[in-house]
């Protein structure tokens, strides 16, 4: 069955999963089920879990929740938590769950073969499943791409009043600042984010797509936005003009490469269906699911050799900062402290 067909058939499964989510707490432990909490969007996750059920016969029960909401729920449930696998959008959240004692290590030759070492914890406590780059979106009309070679350039005075961004304490922006700390040191990173703040066109607000809309309307000229939003906007009649108004600039190609962030998963500390949880992670890291991730949300698969979607291929083969996930894991907390100390969200 084609990847498109699997996504088209997902609506019935999504309904079943949502009903299961509503009754997840009373469910008895069964050898033929696995319980998942996720903050990823249902349209993307449901087809993957449907494909897993069809391949293995294992029922998947899903709770869709916010990242913070998932963690608080698991903490409150304690040893009685029914969750087996947590799937989340950001490596920082994976590390937060490890630090909070909500995970357990997994050893699997299948997973280790599928996922390169830089995309998983050395002790098997978390695993990346996809990654997305966070390049610079720049107005086709008002910005020459040759003007931007590095993220560091965004602190230059020439960009004063020309940058838009979502809030600085969002995971995506904290991840980038964490990488800047890793590569350049705390003081350089602090001065850089102060320079970006001074160059903002308005106080940080909205989401990533909103920043591209701001470029389209002329409010600003550049923004830092995840790659997969380009695919989403191109698929929308309303938002396609926003996407077509910008160039994607992948910075730092001559040095460390463009910053990336990952979605991923952990096995919960008290997972009642441990074997099924590992089986699910093995499935999500293998060819079919990796290709579905790429096709369904224009993300980059972590497994080498899996074909990228046509839209992703349009962006070429830029150099990526493979150290980004480890940097986020090490410096996310410091990045948040710096964002607060410079009062980034207050704007210019």
pLDDT at 31: 62
pLDDT at 295: 85
Q: Tell me the pLDDT tens digit for each residue of 304-335.
A: 999 999 999 999 999 999 999 889 989 999 99
Domain that includes residue 57, residue range: 3-131+261-313
Same domain membership, residue 228 and residue 175:
yes
Q: Tell me the pLDDT tens digit for each residue of 174-201.
A: 999 999 999 999 999 999 999 999 999 9
* φ and ψ of 168, to 5 deg: -70, -25
Whether residue 348 has pLDDT greater than 70? yes
Rounded CA separation 271/292 (Å): 26
Mean pLDDT for the chain overall: 90
According to DSSP H, which parts of 145-264 are helical? 171-184, 186-198, 208-217, 228-234, 240-244
Average confidence (pLDDT) over 131-135? 96
Same domain membership, residue 283 and residue 153:
no
Q: How many domains does the chain have?
A: 2
Q: How far is CA 231 from CA 78, 244, 303, in A?
A: 39, 11, 20
Whether residue 4 has pLDDT greater than 60? no
Q: Tell me the pLDDT tens digit for each residue of 102-111.
A: 999 999 999 9
Same domain membership, residue 148 and residue 295:
no
In three-state secondary structure terms, 129 is strand
Domain of 164: which CATH number? 3.40.190.10
pLDDT at 5: 45
Same domain membership, residue 197 and residue 154:
yes
Same domain membership, residue 305 and residue 329:
no
Name 264's bridge partners: 88, 128
Same domain membership, residue 88 and residue 164:
no
According to DSSP H, which parts of 218-317 are helical? 228-234, 240-244, 274-284, 287-297, 310-314
- Residue 7 confidence class, pLDDT cut points 50, 70, 90: very low
Q: Tell me the pLDDT tens digit for each residue of 45-92.
A: 999 999 999 999 999 999 998 767 888 999 999 999 999 999 998 888
Check residues 41 and 209 and name the one with the higher pLDDT.
Answer: 209
Same domain membership, residue 175 and residue 124:
no
Q: How far is CA 89 from CA 18, 47, 68, 140, 170, in A?
A: 19, 17, 12, 30, 12
Same domain membership, residue 189 and residue 162:
yes
Same domain membership, residue 308 and residue 186:
no
The structure's pTM equals 0.85
Whether residue 9 has pLDDT greater than 80? no
Q: Tell me the pLDDT tens digit for each residue of 154-181.
A: 999 999 999 999 999 999 999 999 999 9
Whether residue 158 contacts residue 311, with contact meaning beta carbons closer than 8 Å, is answered with no
């Amino acid at each position: 069955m084609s990847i498109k067909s699997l996504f088209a058939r997902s609506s019935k499964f999504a309904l079943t999963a949502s009903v299961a989510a509503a009754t997840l707490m009373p469910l008895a432990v069964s050898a033929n089920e696995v319980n998942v909490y996720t903050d990823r969007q249902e349209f993307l996750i449901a087809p993957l879990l449907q494909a897993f059920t069809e391949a293995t016969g294992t029922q998947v029960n899903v709770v869709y929740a916010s990242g913070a909401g998932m963690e608080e729920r698991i903490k409150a449930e304690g040893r009685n938590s029914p969750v087996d696998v947590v799937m989340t959008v950001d490596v920082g959240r994976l590390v937060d769950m490890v630090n909070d004692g909500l995970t357990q290590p997994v050893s699997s030759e299948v997973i280790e073969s599928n996922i390169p070492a830089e995309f998983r914890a050395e002790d098997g406590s978390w695993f990346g499943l996809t990654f997305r780059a966070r390049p610079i979106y720049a107005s086709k009309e008002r910005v020459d791409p040759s003007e931007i070679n590095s993220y560091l350039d965004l602190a230059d005075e020439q960009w004063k009043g020309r940058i838009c961004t979502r809030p600085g304490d969002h995971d995506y922006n904290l991840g980038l600042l964490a990488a800047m700390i890793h590569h350049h040191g705390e003081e350089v990173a602090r001065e850089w984010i102060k320079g970006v703040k001074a160059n903002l066109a308005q106080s940080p607000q909205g989401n990533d797509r909103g920043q591209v809309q701001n470029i389209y309307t002329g409010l600003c000229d550049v923004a830092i936005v995840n790659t997969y939003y380009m695919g989403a906007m191109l698929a929308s009649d309303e938002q396609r003009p926003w996407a077509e108004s910008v160039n994607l600039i992948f910075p730092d190609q001559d040095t460390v490469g463009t910053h990336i962030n990952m979605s991923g998963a952990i096995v919960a500390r008290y997972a009642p269906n441990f074997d099924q949880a590992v089986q699910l992670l093995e499935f999500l890291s293998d060819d079919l699911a990796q290709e579905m991730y790429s096709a369904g949300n224009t993300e980059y698969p972590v497994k080498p050799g899996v074909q990228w979607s046509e839209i992703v291929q349009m962006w070429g083969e830029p150099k990526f900062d493979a150290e980004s996930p480890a940097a986020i894991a090490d410096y996310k907390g410091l990045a948040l402290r710096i964002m607060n100390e410079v009062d980034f969200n207050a704007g210019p």
